[in-house]
Structure 1
Amino acid sequence: MDKVKRADKIRKIHAGALLQNLILLIFSITCIFPAVWLFYSSMKSKAEFNANPIKLPAHLNFEHYIDVLTKSNIIQWMGNTIRNTVLSLLLVVIIGFIVGYFISRFRFRGRKLMYGYFMMGMLVPIHALMIPMYVLFTKTGMGDTWYTLIFPYTAFGIPIAVFLVESYVQNIPKELEEAAAIDGSSFGRTLFTIILPVCLPILVTVGIIQFFSTWNEFTFALILISKETLKTVPVGLTIFKGQYSTDYPQMMTAMLLAILPAMVIYFIFSKQIIKGMVAGAVKG
């Protein structure tokens, strides 16, 4: 009798595991298929795509890739996007690390107010600031320059960086800094040669989050930049959509080239993103 019950229990466990794996498999397919569909659709002609958007292409056609790379400014758009992403990422990581460390380690008047101020930055919707930002940048003459987008990207990236670093630093033993001080290490040296390497996992996570949010940002790039030479990839992709008709295979080719760097970064650092988010969410 005990063997029968044990066998039934094992069968239920296996059935539950099979069901869970099946659900995860379906979910994975729904995530992967759009990228696969984007790739093979870029190989079709316009007539072939209009005839059947889901069907595989009859043969591989790289003409759209040649046209996008030679007849559009996508290389320049990518250069602008990379510049904005790298500079804002560095600023967010440096400022977020220093501010997050000070808020976590030191107790001073106004500390909670400062922390709350940064946390409020995570709650303000971007669309609520479109008009004020446009007016501000227009009045100050800061619009349509190579550094225009770096300011809003940095400002909106700092709150999440401060939140993650502050939570992460609380799990670092204070004995590390005390031992360094006893050995005669200055505060700056302790901060950047001892605490910074320990915080590297969460800083990598902050950098990855900032990379994705900046690379895909559309709103500020649309309203603050009007010069063709300063456009970013998300804004530049809008030129592939016509007023009366759209060459979807060509547009999908441009989209695939635009998201390719982000996909590579994600696949390389996907485990680091999960580890960093979990580590930053746990209070010590």
Structure 2
Amino acid sequence: MNKLGVRLVGTVTNALVMLFSLSAIFPLIWMGYTSLKTNKEFSLNIVNLPTKPVLDNYVSAFDVGDLSSALFSSSFNAVISVPLIVLFSFVIGYFFSRFNFRGKPLLMAVLMLGMLIPVHSLLVPLFVQLNTLGMLDHRLTLLLPYIAINLPLTSFLFLSFIRDIPAEIEEAAYIDGSTFDRTLFTVVFPVCMPMIATATILNVLHTWNEMPFALILNKSAELFTLPVWLTFFSSQYSTDYTGKIAGLVITSLPTVILYLFFSQKIMNGMTAGAVKG
């Protein structure tokens, strides 16, 4: 292929990539400026920019739609469950990567099943079990499912990352008189900070956006998470389109900011250990 052909292929490829990028970014931009419209202006034209931007939709989302309650529920689930997921996964990944013990292949297979089985197929049995135990519709109801759902993948990410950490640094710590738990949390844990950051971001994104378990296991309005709140806000205030879009902006903003600032860490963490055998 001559130089002209190479340039032509490159130009077409770049144009297609730019079009694809715009198609992914435009919905976010559209939500942003549409949330500043009135319902009347939105009904006249859903694409045009607002002639006179207003913040009434955001005020309505908090005052009329009680968005603050849903915001607290989602934040509570993320702040409590994510550190526990990271801590448990780090310990599990360390033991699987450093030790050989009886039953290890079986436990590895069980952990892998946690990634292979569709988690939403467990909704009905989990609902029945929690209902029998009287654990439905509580502030803490979603924490255990969120931890269990995210534990397998996060554990394997830590396992892959820790395998590439030289064991000599731990041996040197033991020679200096360090105990096992101190070595684990003051020597190995800091080295795993790139993976800890990746695991934290991924699990925050998942728990923040999770809907099926939050919808089925909690029925009280004060326990609704943001995705569930958006569903009921739409049905109760079906004509307040711009109010719903304002709620969508508030709901998606934290995850968009997280990904924009930490996308490289996510990629690095997901590919850690993929090169070395």
Structure 2 length-normalised TM = 0.94
Q: Residue 120 in 1 paired to residue 113 in 2?
A: yes
Q: Residue 239 in 1 paired to residue 225 in 2?
A: no
- Aligned-residue offset at 1:281: 3.5
Q: Residue 132 in 1 paired to residue 135 in 2?
A: no
C-alpha separation between the residues in 1 aligned to 2:18 and 2:76?
37
Aligned length: 277
Q: 2:200 is matched with which residue?
A: 207
Between 1:183-192 and 1:161-170, the stretch displaced more is: 183-192
Which residue among 211, 218, 226 is the counterpart of 1:218? 211
Task: Indicate if the aligned counterparts of 1:96 and 1:158 stay in contact, CA closer than 8 A.
Answer: yes
Q: 1:46 is matched with which residue?
A: 39
C-alpha separation between the residues in 2 aligned to 1:244 and 1:201?
43
C-alpha separation between the residues in 2 aligned to 1:259 and 1:280?
31
Distance 1:126 1:235, change over 3 A: same
Given residue 258 of structure 1, which amino acid in structure 2 is its aligned partner?
A: T
Task: Indicate if the aligned counterparts of 2:32 and 2:249 stay in contact, CA closer than 8 A.
Answer: yes
Q: 5 Å matches for 1:63-74?
A: 63-74=56-67
Q: 1:228 is matched with which residue?
A: 221
Superposition CA RMSD, Å:
1.7
C-alpha separation between the residues in 2 aligned to 1:121 and 1:282?
24
Q: Higher Cα Rg: structure 1 or 2?
A: 1
Identical pairs, percent: 40
- Aligned-residue offset at 1:242: 3.1
Q: Residue 196 in 1 paired to residue 183 in 2?
A: no
C-alpha separation between the residues in 2 aligned to 1:214 and 1:244?
26
Between 1:127-136 and 1:20-29, the stretch displaced more is: 20-29
Q: 5 Å matches for 1:48-197?
A: 48-197=41-190
Structure 1 length-normalised TM = 0.92
C-alpha separation between the residues in 1 aligned to 2:94 and 2:270?
17
Deviations 1:71-128 (A, max 9, x none): 2221111111111011110110000000011001111121121111111111221221
Task: Indicate if the aligned counterparts of 2:97 and 2:163 stay in contact, CA closer than 8 A.
Answer: yes
Distance 1:144 1:242, change over 3 A: closer
Task: Indicate if the aligned counterparts of 1:68 and 1:250 stay in contact, CA closer than 8 A.
Answer: yes
- Aligned-residue offset at 1:244: 9.4
C-alpha separation between the residues in 1 aligned to 2:273 and 2:266?
11
Between 1:179-188 and 1:162-171, the stretch displaced more is: 179-188
C-alpha separation between the residues in 2 aligned to 1:104 and 1:282?
17
Q: 5 Å matches for 1:26-41?
A: 26-41=19-34
Between 1:93-102 and 1:103-112, the stretch displaced more is: 103-112
C-alpha separation between the residues in 1 aligned to 2:4 and 2:253?
43
Given residue 54 of structure 1, which amino acid in structure 2 is its aligned partner?
A: V
Gaps of 5+ in 1: 1-7
Gaps of 5+ in 2: none
C-alpha separation between the residues in 2 aligned to 1:245 and 1:256?
17
- Aligned-residue offset at 1:29: 0.7
